[in-house]
Amino acid sequence: MTAGPGRLEEPVVRFDRVTKLFERPGEGTFRAVDDLSLEIHAGTRVALLGKTGCGKSTMFNMIAGLLDPTEGTVTVNGRDPFREFDSFRGKLAVVFQNDRLLPWRTAIGNVEIGLEMLGLAPQERHDMAQRWLTQLGLGGHENDYPHALSGGMRQRVSIARAFATNAGLLLCDEPFSALDEITGQRLREEFVSLVREKRKTAVFITHSINEAFQIGDRIVVLKRPARIAYDVKISPDLDAAEKEAIRARILDELSA
């Protein structure tokens, strides 16, 4: 597909009229995502914001190729992440809500996982993992096991693991929600500057309005079952009053 004048470039992520139903024993069919359409373009940081149970993780799992939509299509870089799962190796990196480190591997061993799957030579992946741990302030802890690291450090290892693969698309499901205010704040800033510097596309799930403002250059508010209630660009030149108006509208949508 060519990106000529008047023609928009192919979105990195596209939901086209996606519905996801779950069968619940004894209860029948449950609708988690309802006729949702959404396009996410390269180089943007999209915060998906919604109350608990509105279908955020279900959307995340469909982008990551772990779940198949019931109706409609999800594409990532124009391809089906569920059916062509293997072709996304190294192109998509995920940071989960809890760090999901392997307890029997050291910090550096955990960062190396994705690089092993990409087939990098041992020395090369060791050096790469070391660079990312150092960049995230974990120099000196590379040989520590996860149980010996604090929650914030473990979360940083999982960010290092996601960035080390050099994937263009980062998918994050509330990675900082279990951390204290100050640590969360610092990691959010580091995250945004890394995504900017490396020109990645980020899809960031959150239920915090403040976090959505800190991370996103676009905020998509979801209602339950997942449908778009409000979709807004967060330009860096918004003044305080404009930000306040957006915040008020988001609150409105979330309490509706």
Ligand X SMILES: Nc1ncnc2c1ncn2[C@@H]1O[C@H](COP(=O)(O)OP(=O)(O)OP(=O)(O)O)[C@@H](O)[C@H]1O
By C-beta, is 95 or 160 nearer to ligand X? 95
Exactly one of 57, 77, 110, 214 binds ligand X (CB under 6 A); which one? Answer: 57
User: Shortest distance, CB of residue 53 to Mg ion, whole angstroms?
Assistant: 8
Spatial separation of the C-alpha atoms in residues 65 and 80, rounded to whole Å: 8
Spatial separation of the C-alpha atoms in residues 255 and 128, rounded to whole Å: 45
Exactly one of 41, 91, 186, 207 binds ligand X (CB under 6 A); which one? Answer: 207
Other C-beta atoms lying within 10 Å of the C-beta of residue 40: 21
Contact (CB, 8 A) for 89 and 118:
yes
Spatial separation of the C-alpha atoms in residues 125 and 208, rounded to whole Å: 35
Query: Which residue is it, tokens 């915060």?
Result: 47
By C-beta, is 50 or 109 nearer to ligand X? 50
Strands 71-76, 13-24: pairing is: antiparallel
User: Shortest distance, CB of residue 55 to ligand X, whole angstroms?
Assistant: 4
User: Shortest distance, CB of residue 104 to ligand X, whole angstroms?
Assistant: 27
User: Shortest distance, CB of residue 234 to ligand X, whole angstroms?
Assistant: 21
49 binds, among Mg ion, ligand X, none (CB under 5 to 8 A by kind): none
User: Shortest distance, CB of residue 255 to Mg ion, whole angstroms?
Assistant: 19
Spatial separation of the C-alpha atoms in residues 186 and 230, rounded to whole Å: 28
Exactly one of 14, 38, 50, 161 binds ligand X (CB under 6 A); which one? Answer: 50
Does residue 29 belong to the site contacting ligand X (CB under 6 A)?
no
Does residue 171 belong to the site contacting ligand X (CB under 6 A)?
no
> Edge-to-edge, what's the strand order for the sheet holding 28-40?
28-40, 13-24, 71-76
Binding interface with ligand X (CB under 6 A) = 22, 24, 30, 32, 50, 52-58, 207
